[in-house]
Amino acid sequence: WRSLAHLAKKLDGYTTLQAKEKRRAAWKLWLRRPFEYPVLMLRYTFLKRHITGGWYGIKAAHTLAWGRTARIRKFLAAQRAERQLK
């Protein structure tokens, strides 16, 4: 990544496209939603070892976890919009 802003923009575009193209069961998304950010933050911080990057590594882990969590919100919003059109 060139910067954290670049990473956030890249994740935003990618997750928006995923929400348009893929379908997920809504009940699974709702169950996953409260645990997604904390689990991913721990995963990226410790298992992917971003903690070794100091504060930048922590910020990168946060940006990645937040972007992946936004994906669930986008999936749910896309499903809601699709239901309203029907």
Q: What is the predicted pLDDT for the residue at 85?
A: 85
Q: How far apart are CA 49 and CA 45, in angstroms?
A: 5
Q: Is the dihedral of CA 17, 36, 51, 48 positive or negative?
A: negative
pLDDT digits (tens, 9 = 90+) for 6-23: 999 999 999 999 999 998
**What pLDDT, in 10s, does the model give residues 19-69?**
999 989 999 999 999 999 999 999 999 999 999 999 999 999 999 999 999
50: left (phi over 0), alpha (psi -120 to 50) or beta: alpha
